[in-house]
Structure 1
């Protein structure tokens, strides 16, 4: 049974989310503030976090940063803020998805399900594809979900790794933003294709010597992105 940690200070919304996800078959714990959320994160060890961006004691963006530095589990950020800049800020912080209030419980469950499905998909990858190659500057260990640059471990979010894996496994192939978005989300999402640009920018900062002149993740203008090792 997958475990979901909900951090939401609004009692009615928090209880509604908890009850719905519980009825969907998840083990659910809810925190009413950031400090309680930090404690449950350590003790409950969730498989996915649903995080409200506006909390009474801790800024949700800062809390997302804390979770991301400690773990790579999927984070779904929820907020009444619907501006594109707010969504981009959440994604840049390390959130994997962003859901604007008000939203239906059915959509919430679908987002959670998609994130969990993607986070466990690597277990089905063939063992031969899991071994990193030592003669490459950028290496992926698909079984352990690890990204290495010059043999140094690089921390990635769930969505960043999924995008990197797809590009790395299909070097030279051009993927549109829509294709990459579908790969990460697995279903129609309110989050626009701009989210992919944010994830690509974050990946370039992590693997490129000069993110402004990328060597590996190339932009194909008017189409999308591709990955090249040489």
Structure 2
């Protein structure tokens, strides 16, 4: 009588432990390779189920009005960071008035203005997409203040502007209609994912300006 040839048993079926060990080893190797790259980990709050603060900023009519250019009054006091930049040959100044924690987020308040040496000229600066995020979803506003980011050098993480369930930033938008003039700065605001509570200073990236270092983050 002929017997069918013997077949080697499937090692995965024979030993579930071995299969788990191989999967675990693959995960460890992937983690090691990621760490070896040395890049910053990017963190963004996506408000598919937004927190009350983010939901108010992104969805209520009152907050929507304030999110438009110049709608949010800037806090009083000395700026925590200042810098200048240029877009389309037009110089401008940026003052970061505050980075303040609000639950799981940090709210940035700032102003865009014309530099002091241009103050005697009849000039204006149209902001448009100067501070926009080039990696933002295509269907979202192109002229938003969503390109700013917080950087935690110690933990090697980069915190991005929060977005609502539709992909729109929780930040100032419609900056194509915003013109900064010598006597009329434009207020801008952005809500970003917050670093851990023990992080008291961060680096702040502002497109077309610079990366500010050791900017203080105020507690609630």
TM-score by length of 2: 0.24
Greater Rg, structure 1 or structure 2? 2
Q: Which has the larger helix fraction?
A: 1
- Highest relative contact order (Cα 8 Å, sep 6+), 1 or 2? 2
Q: Which has the larger strand fraction?
A: 2
